[in-house]
Chains A and B, each alone.
Chain A
Amino acid sequence: MSEQDRDTHQHHPDYTKIYVALVILLIISVVGTFSGILWITFIMAFGVAVVKATLVAENFMHLKWEKVVAKWVLGISLVLMLLFFAGVSPDIMKDRGLQWVNNADLAATARGIPDEEEPGKGAPASAAESAKAAAPTQTAAAAPAAAPFNPETTFKTVCAACHGPEGEGNGPGAAALNPKPANFTDPAFWTDKTDSILEKAIRQGGASVGKSSAMPAWGSILTEAQAKQMVAYLHTLKGK
């Protein structure tokens, strides 16, 4: 142990001050969540995290005074993580390409949305639902298909993810889409649509009627008759 005892010239910053700073930063990051503005929350949360981590690393772990080789070791592992992110995110972050649509994922997304008609149940209902629906693979409209076909329920579980619960084209999935999903409440939408166009779009996908290929083909889970019922339901959304 003799050679190592010589390494005792440790610097000791005022740990109490650092600790107080850390707690204050924690409070700031929590307070930031109440700002309501997404970007402020993000910057405060992650910016604060970086500052806190740096304080802990430099002062508590004594990296400030450590030999440079230790910083290289840690630095390389962090750089590798950036490399990992750069190489993998093009495949994982965007799973909806320009030439194809991930139907199964869209359906899973739809199941992840809570049923807004029953506020009391809220998320647990959808959690149980998606656990149930997930068990048989690949049947996107499992819940509505098990019961007699109900266009409204189908709309809410399958379509609302992109088209929004009222069909305004503002569902959570719409954020990633350009052009935006159709807004059925807008009179302008209905000026050039016949029922057969809509049925075709529903069953064979948006590209089949010259619209965005982001609109999936639901023909594998909707029969012609069911698609007709869906179109009828869409009509009821007009002017809402």
Chain B
Amino acid sequence: MAQASAATAHAHEHGSHEHKELHGILKYLWSTDHKVIAMQYLFTGMFMAMVGGFMAYVFRMQLAFPGKSVPLFGYVSPGRYNALITAHGSIMIFWVAMPVLIAAFGNYLIPLMIGADDMVFPRLNRLSYQVFLLSVIVLLSSLFVKGGGFGGGWPAYPPLSANAKYNLTPLGSSMWLVAVALEFAAFLMGGINFITTLMNARAPGMKAYDIPMMPWMVVIASIMFMLSVGPLIAGAIMLFFDQNLGTGFYDPSRGGDPILWQHLFWFFGHPEVYVVLLPAVGTVLEIITTFARKKLFGYKTLLYTAAATAVLSFFVWAHHQFIAGIDPRMANIFTVTTMIISIPIAEMCFVIIATLYGGDIRLSTPMLWALAFMAEFLIGGCTGIFLGASGADIYLHETYFVLAHFHYTFFPIAIIGTFAAFTYWFPKMFGKMLNETLGKIHFWGTIIPFNLIFIPLFILGLDGQQRRIYDFQNFPELRHLQPIRILATISLVVMLLFQFVFFFNVIRAWLKGPKAPKNPWQSNTLEWTAESPPPHGNWPPDRMPKVYRGPYEYNHPDREDDYWPQNIPPEPEPAPSPAR
């Protein structure tokens, strides 16, 4: 983290000529600049990704070599195993995917891409990060308190999560709940900021259909988050009271119902996965238009499809509860809606393919990540269809098939999406260029092992291997699958080792990489018209950009250049490129 701060300060001092921006430690406590806050979210999120990844290493080592002490960790008891998988899931979704894709890149890019000097509520922005940081501290502390961290799975079903007699982690379970609640509060605050900024603070001339896809996606995601999290907040309060005040909201012997929690959780939980999906798709769209030098095929189609996905995502939640004892008539309905939601997602895939078709494709590192996102997410999406059929789900629920399915969706979103966005916008954010060769080595070193981890897990799931089990040696009929478990674990270790290439690349670029020009990728969107990195206020106040066209005018017949930035006024003579 110290390296990160030093490097960020270094990068910012480069750009901040004019405004009275704070320096040193004060900047990180009090700055309201959206770029500083974005960096804070980014580095916190990436730190948590390392924590979550390490946890995955530990529990996968336990699964592959049961009972053996795990290097760098020690023995994994059943209780610790449960705490590790719970924390891994919670961290990756709430403390990696959301902060990096939405809070970090959303915060950084929305003002820049719409031509604003900051978010509309900078102090609320700062508060949201501070609350978020508090949630990180509470969560990490919960792992070290008496009894250890909560081990009831990230969906935290009662009665296990409600009753310390069952979960054996009285402090840990409450702290986990408080951490999640704080994270929700942080994102509610952030969401209001993003939505209002996009709705109101656009550059003059930027009509709704001139907004690039990334801000749209982050804002649609924020709206979905805000509307879906409400019932869960109510449910979390009830769970907290059950844990600590002896109420019986989820206790059938007291007139409560555990299924209520499941509904409250998944009413949020399902839209949540699309909340993290959409910004990743937004990143991919920005990248492919830039590196295929081609206009987005069907901007409006895509926008309406994204909106349709958002709406439909609220109608599918009980597919997580098919075998929980819900009303079977509901299961019918939710199967149908779950099948239907695959249609807009498929439509988005078609738009992306159509955009690439006939393009002048440059296979840079960001482009590789974007293409990998498509391929891997496709596998994830298709396997979701098996699970969405309630009949098949009777067998597949709670098996490793589910695990593999959601890693084939979440990994593209949270990890591939992050690397895509990071490598694409790194020049803008840090003012330096990353090394392409190292980038490609890192890319292949991540993608190939990733598939070797999770394709075996589909096989394990179909063979009947259940989730959340600490040691499969206790299941004689599953023992023969141990080689597959070992293969998955070794692939994970290899993948984690390749991440060192990424860190090496990043740190080397920071310290002595080539300086980045304003617009190294020759892209159209407004962020590329600011300095790399942009100063406080993004542009001089008297030269805020104005917008004259849509964001994806590549290879336009009226232009000599193969790109046409949004802010160039329509001149008769071919204007020289603003920056090269």
Q: Do chains A and B touch in the complex (CB under 8 A)?
A: yes
Residues of A within 8 A of B (CB): 69, 76-77, 80, 83-84, 87-88, 90-92, 95, 102, 104-105, 107-109, 112, 130, 134, 137-138
A4 to B185, CA, bound (A): 28
B419 within 8 A of A: no
A69 to B260, CA, bound (A): 33
Whether the pair A91, B326 counts as a contact (CB closer than 8 A) is: yes
The 6 A-B residue pairs with the shortest CB-CB distance in the complex, in nearest-first order: A90-B327, A104-B253, A88-B263, A108-B255, A104-B252, A91-B259
Whether the pair B227, A92 counts as a contact (CB closer than 8 A) is: no
Whether the pair B255, A105 counts as a contact (CB closer than 8 A) is: yes
Contact flag A102-B326 (CB < 8 Å), given A84-B267, A91-B257, A95-B257: no
Q: Could you jot down 22 A-B contacts, CB within 8 Å?
A: A69-B199, A80-B228, A84-B231, A84-B263, A84-B267, A87-B263, A87-B267, A87-B317, A88-B260, A90-B327, A90-B329, A91-B260, A91-B325, A92-B263, A95-B257, A104-B252, A105-B255, A108-B252, A112-B255, A130-B254, A134-B248, A134-B254
Other A-B pairs beyond A83-B314, A134-B254, 19, CB < 8 Å: A77-B230, A80-B228, A83-B315, A87-B317, A88-B264, A90-B327, A90-B330, A91-B257, A91-B326, A92-B260, A107-B253, A108-B248, A108-B252, A108-B253, A108-B255, A112-B255, A134-B248, A134-B251, A134-B253
Which of A80, A90, A91, A92 has the largest number of chain B CB atoms within 10 A?
A91
B56 within 8 A of A: no
Residue of B nearest to A107 (CB): B253
Q: Which of B227, B255, B263 contacts A80 (CB 8 A)?
A: B227
Q: In the complex, which residues of chain B have a beta carbon less than 8 angstroms from the beta carbon of A76?
A: 227
Q: In the complex, which residues of chain B have a beta carbon less than 8 angstroms from the beta carbon of A109?
A: 255
Whether the pair A91, B252 counts as a contact (CB closer than 8 A) is: no
Whether the pair A105, B263 counts as a contact (CB closer than 8 A) is: no
Whether the pair B254, A92 counts as a contact (CB closer than 8 A) is: no
Whether the pair B318, A87 counts as a contact (CB closer than 8 A) is: yes
What string of 1s and 0s marks CB contacts (under 8 Å) between B316-341 and chain A? Answer: 01100000011101100000000000
A219 to B264, CA, bound (A): 35
**In the complex, what's the smallest C-beta–C-beta distance from B511 to chain A, in angstroms?**
44
Which of B230, B252, B255, B314 has the largest number of chain A CB atoms within 10 A?
B255
Q: What is the predominant secondary structure among interface residues of chain B facing chain A?
A: helix
Whether the pair A92, B253 counts as a contact (CB closer than 8 A) is: no
A162 to B417, CA, bound (A): 58
**In the complex, what's the smallest C-beta–C-beta distance from B304 to chain A, in angstroms?**
16
**In the complex, what's the smallest C-beta–C-beta distance from B473 to chain A, in angstroms?**
33
Residue of A nearest to B330 (CB): A90
A104 to B253, CA, bound (A): 5
Q: In the complex, which residues of chain B have a beta carbon less than 8 angstroms from the beta carbon of A84?
A: 231, 263, 267
Contact flag A105-B252 (CB < 8 Å), given A76-B227, A90-B327, A90-B329: yes
Which of B230, B318, B327 has the largest number of chain A CB atoms within 10 A?
B327
**In the complex, what's the smallest C-beta–C-beta distance from A219 to chain B, in angstroms?**
18
Q: In the complex, which residues of chain B have a beta carbon less than 8 angstroms from the beta carbon of A102?
A: 252
Question: Which residues of B, 268-321, contact A by the 8 Å Cβ criterion?
Answer: 314-315, 317-318
Q: In the complex, which residues of chain B have a beta carbon less than 8 angstroms from the beta carbon of A88?
A: 260, 263-264, 267
Q: In the complex, which residues of chain B have a beta carbon less than 8 angstroms from the beta carbon of A80?
A: 227-228, 314
Q: In the complex, which residues of chain A have a beta carbon less than 8 angstroms from the beta carbon of B228?
A: 80
B contacts with A, residue count (CB < 8 A): 26
Q: In the complex, which residues of chain B have a beta carbon less than 8 angstroms from the beta carbon of A138?
A: 253
Whether the pair A91, B248 counts as a contact (CB closer than 8 A) is: no
Q: In the complex, which residues of chain B have a beta carbon less than 8 angstroms from the beta carbon of A107?
A: 253
Q: In the complex, which residues of chain A have a beta carbon less than 8 angstroms from the beta carbon of B230?
A: 77
A112 to B256, CA, bound (A): 13
Contact flag A92-B257 (CB < 8 Å), given A77-B227, A80-B314, A134-B248: yes
A84 to B520, CA, bound (A): 48
A80 to B314, CA, bound (A): 8
**In the complex, what's the smallest C-beta–C-beta distance from B395 to chain A, in angstroms?**
22
Whether the pair A92, B330 counts as a contact (CB closer than 8 A) is: no
Question: Which residues of B, 460-477, contact A by the 8 Å Cβ criterion?
Answer: none
A84 to B235, CA, bound (A): 13
A130 to B325, CA, bound (A): 27
A83 to B227, CA, bound (A): 12
Which of A77, A88, A90 has the largest number of chain B CB atoms within 10 A?
A88
A91 to B259, CA, bound (A): 7
Residue of B nearest to A76 (CB): B227
Q: In the complex, which residues of chain B have a beta carbon less than 8 angstroms from the beta carbon of A69?
A: 199
Q: In the complex, which residues of chain A have a beta carbon less than 8 angstroms from the beta carbon of B330?
A: 87, 90-91
Whether the pair B259, A92 counts as a contact (CB closer than 8 A) is: yes
A88 to B232, CA, bound (A): 13
A87 to B252, CA, bound (A): 20
A109 to B317, CA, bound (A): 30
A95 to B325, CA, bound (A): 11
Residue of A nearest to B263 (CB): A88
A90 to B330, CA, bound (A): 8
Q: In the complex, which residues of chain B have a beta carbon less than 8 angstroms from the beta carbon of A77?
A: 227, 230
**In the complex, what's the smallest C-beta–C-beta distance from A109 to chain B, in angstroms?**
7
A134 to B248, CA, bound (A): 9
A104 to B199, CA, bound (A): 52
Whether the pair B253, A91 counts as a contact (CB closer than 8 A) is: no
**In the complex, what's the smallest C-beta–C-beta distance from A48 to chain B, in angstroms?**
25
Q: In the complex, which residues of chain B have a beta carbon less than 8 angstroms from the beta carbon of A95?
A: 252, 257
Q: In the complex, which residues of chain A have a beta carbon less than 8 angstroms from the beta carbon of B199?
A: 69
**In the complex, what's the smallest C-beta–C-beta distance from A7 to chain B, in angstroms?**
12
Residue of A nearest to B267 (CB): A84
A104 to B258, CA, bound (A): 13
Q: In the complex, which residues of chain A have a beta carbon less than 8 angstroms from the beta carbon of B260?
A: 88, 91-92
Residue of A nearest to B329 (CB): A90
A152 to B124, CA, bound (A): 63
Q: In the complex, which residues of chain A have a beta carbon less than 8 angstroms from the beta carbon of B231?
A: 84
**In the complex, what's the smallest C-beta–C-beta distance from B490 to chain A, in angstroms?**
43
**In the complex, what's the smallest C-beta–C-beta distance from A69 to chain B, in angstroms?**
8
**In the complex, what's the smallest C-beta–C-beta distance from B249 to chain A, in angstroms?**
11
What string of 1s and 0s marks CB contacts (under 8 Å) between B166-188 and chain A? Answer: 00000000000000000000000
A80 to B254, CA, bound (A): 29
